[in-house]
Amino acid sequence: MKKTILITGGAGFIGSHLVRHLVQKYPDYHILNLDALTYAGNLENLRDIESSANYTFVKGDICDGDMLQQLFEKHPIDGVIHLAAESHVDRSILNPVEFVRTNVLGTVTLLNAAKNAWKGRSDVLFYHVSTDEVYGSLAPGDYFLETTSYDPQSPYSASKASSDHFVRAYGNTYGIPFVLSNCSNNYGPYQFPEKLLPLFISNIVAEKPLPVYGKGDNIRDWLWVTDHCVAIDLIFHKGRHGETYNIGGRNEWTNIDLVKLLCTSMDEKLGREAGSAESLITYVTDRPGHDMRYAIDPSKLEAELGWTPSLQFEEGLLLTIDWYLKNQEWVERVQSGTYREYYETQYGERLAN
Ligand code: NAD
Ligand code: DAU
């Protein structure tokens, strides 16, 4: 069956993997990618599929209601997969208002455009791609379930929690068919090098300090980005409407263990003496309000839709390192412009302490 799917944020990290996956897997679908191309969005991420006949890029801001109305009038959109967001926790601490604008106001503006265009149709779907951070921080032994109460702790997670609530509220109030997923930390190619793994890979290459926040004992649950995209595809096509699915690969690491594994692998890849990268580790002032532990229980997704992750973490990490080493020019290009200013504000003070 033909479909026209609007992907928002398709030039970012996860969005570009999702767009590529859908364009290649569904030649009958029209994949529309709407992205404002902020510092985090980069059309280079989609170079290999940009001339595909079933793909169209539209530059635009999800806060622009008139543009969204025109987009829904111009294209027979019957599915929205919404990823556009400000996504970096540290930036949300520096500039919370920007996160409210994009993540809350942008999501509501997009919901409104879908509501007005779809007029009560039931053969459509609004899919919100969200984060496990909405659940807050876990005690040892606990896991995030779809029924876990929301307890967001950062401006980023508060904005994502709010947007989740608005999606459910639009479903409940206006009858928009919807589905949500809350995923753990993704890793892989094309992740903006402000996030832990790509930042540390590029710092190791440049022999710059590796700023580990606090004691490095915070725990994150890591998932290969394509496994996330396969889960989104499954949920979009087969998930029960009105439901939430947690996505995660049962792959918890303390930050320091992860960084040490990265250091060992990088020394081998770069042919440097063992211990070189580890000597760059620098413990710095902690992230304010830093959540201690995230861990997803993905049983619902596994049982209902048969999803399982495809890749072991150690293997995915080596693939990620290889990609960044081969794409140093991409790293340099995306880190130019406003990134330098951000990096200095962010790390100048932390490293000085
Ligand atoms: P990203 O920062 O790499 O990409 C975000 C994209 O959204 C960029 O292309 C950017 O240009 C675009 N964008 C930002 N503001 C916009 C606006 N106003 N209008 C249109 N486009 C805009 O983010 P990501 O890491 O790929 O995350 C994508 C989504 O997945 C986000 O909603 C995030 O909350 C969620 N998520 C991310 C992770 C993760 O580990 N990265 C995990 C779970 C959920
Ligand atoms: O859990 C899902 C979330 O994962 C997504 O919703 C977010 O969009 C995504 O950015 C990610 O959030 P985190 O805050 O967990 O990712 P980040 O890469 O920023 O940090 C991972 C861990 O590493 C976290 O505990 C903070 C720590 N860290 C991070 C950076 C950038 C450091 O110790 N030093 C650093 O320089």
- Whole-number pLDDT of residue 347: 76
Average pLDDT, the chain: 96
Give residue 319's pLDDT band: very low, low, confident or very high (50, 70, 90): very high
pLDDT tens per residue across span 288-305: 999 999 999 999 999 999
- Whole-number pLDDT of residue 127: 99
Match 């690491």 to its residue by tokens.
253
Give residue 352's pLDDT band: very low, low, confident or very high (50, 70, 90): low
Is 133 designated active site?
Answer: yes
pLDDT tens per residue across span 243-260: 999 999 999 999 999 999
pLDDT of 353 > 70? The answer is no
Q: Are 82 and 127 in contact (CB under 8 A)?
A: yes
Q: Identify the DSSP state of 37.
A: -
Ligand approaching nearest to the C-alpha of 93:
2
Give residue 234's pLDDT band: very low, low, confident or very high (50, 70, 90): very high
**180 is written with which tokens?**
């949500």
Annotated catalytic residue, options 135, 156, 170, 342: 156
Annotated catalytic residue, options 133, 164, 221, 291: 133
Nearest CA to ligand 1 atom 25: 13
Ligand approaching nearest to the C-alpha of 163:
1
pLDDT of 125 > 80? The answer is yes
Helix (H) or strand (E) segment spanning residue 309: none
- Whole-number pLDDT of residue 58: 98
Q: Is the domain 3-187+224-248+291-311+339-347 a CATH 3.40.50.261 member?
A: no
Distance 318 CA to ligand 1 centre (A): 24
Nearest CA to ligand 1 atom 37: 131
Distance 243 CA to ligand 2 centre (A): 27
Nearest ligand 2 atom to the CA of 160 is 6
Nearest CA to ligand 2 atom 25: 218
Q: Are 187 and 197 in contact (CB under 8 A)?
A: yes
pLDDT tens per residue across span 103-117: 999 999 999 999 999
Cross-strand pairs, 223: 186
- Where are the chain's structural domains? 3-187+224-248+291-311+339-347
Q: Would you say the CB of residue 199 lies under 6 angstroms from ligand 2?
A: yes
Q: Are 252 and 295 in contact (CB under 8 A)?
A: yes
pLDDT of 351 > 90? The answer is no
- Whole-number pLDDT of residue 64: 98
pTM tops 0.85, yes or no: yes
Nearest ligand 2 atom to the CA of 210 is 36
**36 is written with which tokens?**
């404002």
Is 132 designated active site?
Answer: yes
pLDDT tens per residue across span 159-200: 999 999 999 999 999 999 999 999 999 999 999 999 999 999
Please compute the mean of the pLDDT values over residues 16-27 and round it to a whole number: 98
pLDDT of 345 > 90? The answer is no
Whole-number percent of the chain with pLDDT over 70: 99
Beta strands in the chain (DSSP E): 4-8, 30-35, 55-59, 79-82, 125-131, 178-183, 185-187, 210-213, 219-224, 244-247, 252-254, 281-284
Please compute the mean of the pLDDT values over residues 16-22 and round it to a whole number: 98
